[in-house]
């Protein structure tokens, strides 16, 4: 995983995406976040945004032109601005301005209710087939695992635990450390419009992949999407 200079406010773990990375971090926006007009038009797709963080932490957001998804341009920036948990990176002991690219992936069929109002960021990179434990591979282990965890008001996972499993500890035991290290969210908002802590769950379904060598990079990850 890759780290960048900007950090989540109050968190010690860095983001996982470099500022100049060719693959911007994807922020999933499901049905609960949709503007009514966009739902009526059944709009869906990717809206690239650019965040500029000043030395003082001021956040500015710009959106790439997209006539087909024009209705979703302003909500894409508002989604992030309402949950501004970003601090500027620090160089030589002083905060510096920085610019980052993200993609807001709008999908009305998606329901991320299992995250208690928090919005997943970079979910595809949380747990991949590359994380399949070697010891489990010797026995071609498979099975379903359900994780529960707290999500802080700063968008990080804490207190992860296995709440249900249909496999051995050799396969399930390493999943919580990965979530604590990699899972990131735009936090849930309280009734006052401010970020608040919440709780989340993640279901994994590990399946054996017969591919070998370089082809194993294309083996599907275990995230069951619910």
CA nearest neighbour of 149 among 201, 206, 81 = 201
Selected residue with higher pLDDT from 220 and 17: 220
Q: Is 87 exposed, middle or buried (0-12, 13-18, 19+ CB in 10 A)?
A: middle
Whether the pTM exceeds 0.75: the reply is yes
Q: Which residues contact 93 (CB under 8 A, 6 or more apart)?
A: none
Give 3-state DSSP helix, strand, coil % of the chain, rounded to 5.
25, 35, 40
How many Cβ atoms from other residues are within 10 Å of residue 18's Cβ?
14
SS3 call for 35: coil
| Residue pLDDT, tens place only, 82-102 | 887 778 888 899 999 988 889
| Residue pLDDT, tens place only, 179-216 | 999 999 999 999 999 999 999 999 999 888 877 777 77
């Amino acid at each position: 995983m890759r780290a960048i200079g900007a950090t989540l406010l109050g968190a010690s773990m860095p983001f996982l995406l470099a500022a100049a990375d060719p693959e911007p971090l994807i922020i999933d926006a499901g049905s609960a976040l949709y503007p009514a007009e966009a739902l009526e038009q059944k709009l869906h797709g990717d809206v690239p945004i650019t965040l500029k963080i000043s030395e003082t932490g001021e956040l500015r957001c710009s959106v790439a032109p997209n006539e087909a998804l024009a209705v979703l341009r302003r909500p894409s920036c508002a989604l992030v601005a309402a949950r501004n948990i970003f601090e500027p990176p620090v160089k030589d002991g002083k905060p510096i301005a920085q610019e980052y690219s993200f993609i807001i992936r709008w999908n009305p069929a998606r329901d991320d209710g299992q995250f208690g109002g928090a919005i997943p960021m970079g979910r595809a990179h949380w747990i991949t087939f590359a994380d399949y434990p070697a010891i489990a591979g010797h026995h071609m282990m498979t099975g379903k695992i359900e994780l529960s965890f707290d999500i802080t008001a700063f968008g990080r996972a804490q207190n992860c635990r296995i709440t249900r499993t249909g496999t051995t500890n050799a396969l399930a035991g390493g999943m919580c450390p990965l979530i604590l290290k990699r899972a990131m969210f735009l936090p849930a908002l309280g009734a006052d419009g401010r970020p608040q802590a919440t709780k989340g769950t993640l279901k994994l379904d590990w399946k054996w992949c017969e591919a070998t060598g370089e082809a194993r990079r294309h083996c599907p990850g275990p995230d069951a999407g619910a």
